[in-house]
Structure 1
């Protein structure tokens, strides 16, 4: 199958009656002829053509890589939006069972089964920072400072 595809691409004939070895022989003879023709051209022309071909190949690979990265980024964004729009996750609850585990849940070693949680995880509200009450310390220091000021300036 692959030999016939290469034969059709290189020779541009569709001889179905030829065997695989005959197809390979014709492909090889065509390649030898092309290499001999290439040796007749000036070396600078051949090198310039090879460099331009390599440059075009590198550009194609670079574009494919960028396209793949863009697709991956779009997929990540889509998944993040789905997670953001999803319902909050239910709290995992345990309940006691007396029977063996079924298909719907997993039996824990303690004999409890957990319910699966779905959606986005619940977030707790942030608590405001605690204000330290140094009223007693401050009042003691203030009264001490007032006594010193009264003693010095009074």
Structure 2
């Protein structure tokens, strides 16, 4: 007699219920795996994008550093040439001192504009130039990281400000010139007239021409000749 696996109908229902629960569990697990896989793919994409961005930034930074090195080499060559000129006596000591003072003043002006008034008196010109260069590199990196549209908009604003400043300077210069002319005119009007010293110049007539005298002399000579010819011939 064959063996029966189920003696009661409820047992079959219980087995089906258990299988259904297992199936639901597997479906839920599959969904969780899919979600985890999607999250992993997103994280992988973000990491890859970040790596690509870092690589691009490093390449740009490398290019900028290379350009900075080239500029530094050019500056070093120029400074070496100047030092040789100084050491060879191309410039006199007074000229050297004046040139160094002028360069120091220019460096201080640039330092105040780029960095500020801090440490102006405590740093030597070379240290100031190093800080200015570092600041310029930072600003250059910042400009490179900004969107191109924003940079162009800022450049247009700066150009407009420079043109406005130039117009104002021209107007001030023109106004100053007009004020100087007006002040000079007022000074001339207020000043006492200068009294002329010495005799007053009198117009003199021109002396008689010598040609007229010669003409009269020739005429008298001809008249006398005619009279002599009439009376003595």
Length-normalised TM-score, structure 1: 0.50
Which protein is richer in helix relative to its size? 2
Length-normalised TM-score, structure 2: 0.35
Larger Rg: 2
